[in-house]
Structure 1
């Protein structure tokens, strides 16, 4: 896609960079919430699907990520990132008043989106979670137990069976290619606890997408969190053989069809 606009808003800790994929006459708003170490620009194809479905799409680069302010890959409190996300939502609503708002959160973005829904659920018409970091995710605890965090970045092959996805990720200068940082790991533990204690989402429609070969965020750990949020009411779609990034997988056309079909069923 080439028709992408850039906005700068004041975030909790500095400049917040927000991408916008416009639509001439949208019927709803979609807010994309990216994962750890990456940035909103990696969601161009997802945004294209959603604009083709009738959405005006917005996506911030989180604190410490992409073009937004902050030390790279450092988040000390996910509540601040949720507040930044609401600034992006306010931007979308200011440009298109009166439209329903749906949120799509991937991985760490699933944690952020779930917490947003707990804090501001009345503002949302639907929530889509892709490989969400909620429930029982053991990586922060394991790494924090070490005296030194190993300098092991996310392996590109863990993202998708499509080798082009891994190659693009490895070559992307806006992606963080270093180790996880201790303050962020501590924040993950607090964020997981906040979502666990934050209550379910009532009648908010929730779609949960996951690859059954996701080794970064194993499916059974996420299931614990999704069940707490949706009390068994969430729509679940598991993709055989898919790795962590179902939106970038070899069968992503099926994933996109699930998303648009779900939105058609709830945006009436």
Structure 2
């Protein structure tokens, strides 16, 4: 396997990873009670040793996880990845398909439970593990706390258990989000509004990104979105942010209900989520085998990071999912 800064890395990605995704990952659909159609993806090796459910973050489509799914496949894992409602190829929830919008954050949680139940029919009898990133971390935490399940272990990568608000005090950011969401519902209930300063999807050059140090992996991520306009997503709406703050509060309140061991992978140079919130959440977990591990210097997107940051995260993930 070439390092991501090696000229041959992109050749490997285009000649092995992408063909694997096209040929060995199948697309499935699930209609929810409210009519929303979800897309989810499945890889099944001939003799899988377990199944990993992947719960992505905001703006993410399953396509962003091609390399990780390929690597998990080399370890003989079956893999299920969901496109959340309003993201990827799943149904959008607003008059503008670029809106990062949700009516109730709980819908994400209940969708995950439904996909896990539905996908289990294809991978029955296998040990089940859960990997969740960023927004998916909050979704996964609430799922593990609220729903009966057979997940044995979970990994939360840069989980959204606190949001960085920059120079704006947290209380003020929450007040603006909630007030804006209420005003939006009152004045324009069928047309969500972007949060202040947000806009439709735009291509962000690598030099301007705060997600990863890896130019090659960042380019593959952006190329996938440029080649598939239907998965492009812009900034969040007022209601998404208001719901995210509420979900984070609920995840902290319900953390002690999570019975399974949880590994939190923390990005040391994260500019998106609040690492202090992750530590506070970790301290509330009830399973004594849970663990938090910081990848020093890593940016938010651990699994599209440069190898020096990504490899420790990948090794921690694989070790965590090994049978005891």
One fold, TM greater than 0.5?
Answer: yes
Query: Is 1:22 aligned to residue 44 of structure 2?
Result: yes
Deviation per residue, 1:97-151 (Å, 9 max, x gap): 12121110000000001111101354210010000011x3354862752766112
CA distance in 1, matches of 2:258, 2:58: 27
The partner residue of 2:243 within 187, 198, 216 is 187
2:314 aligned with 1:259: no
Indicate the RMSD between aligned Cα atoms, in angstroms. 2.4
Q: 1:137 aligns with which of 143, 160, 163?
A: 163
Contact 1:160 1:246 in 2 (8 A): yes
Normalising to structure 2: TM-score of the pair?
A: 0.75
Structure-2 change in CA distance of 1:199 and 1:207 (3 Å): closer
Superposed, 1:161-240 pairs within 5 Å as 161-171=213-223, 172=225, 173-230=229-286, 233-240=289-296
Partner in structure 1 of residue 297 of structure 2: 241
- Structure with bigger gyration radius: 2
Q: Describe the shift of the 1:12–1:168 C-alpha distance in structure 2 as closer, same or farther (beyond 3 A).
A: farther
What TM-score results when the alignment is normalised by the length of structure 1?
A: 0.89
Unaligned runs of 5+ in 2: 1-19, 181-194
Partner of residue 61 from structure 1, selected from 59, 83, 98: 83
Give CA deviations for 1:210-259 in whole Å, capped at 9, x if unaligned: 11001111322221122223566422221111100111111222221111
Task: Identify which of 127, 149, 165 aligns with 1:100.
Answer: 127
Alignment gaps of 5+ in structure 1? none
**Alignment partner, residue 150 of structure 1:** 197
1:202 to 1:31, Cα distance in 2 relative to 1, 3 A: closer
User: Within 1, Cα distance between the matches of 2:233 and 2:124?
Assistant: 39
In structure 1, what is the Cα distance between the partners aligned to 2:197 and 2:287?
A: 37
Provide Cα deviations, 1:32-79, integer angstroms capped at 9, x if missing partner.
Answer: 000011111111112122222221111110010010012242112121
| DSSP-derived class of the 1:196 partner | helix
Count of residues in Structure 1 that have an aligned counterpart in Structure 2: 265
Residue aligning to 1:6: 27
Bigger mean CA deviation after superposition, 22-31 or 218-227: 218-227
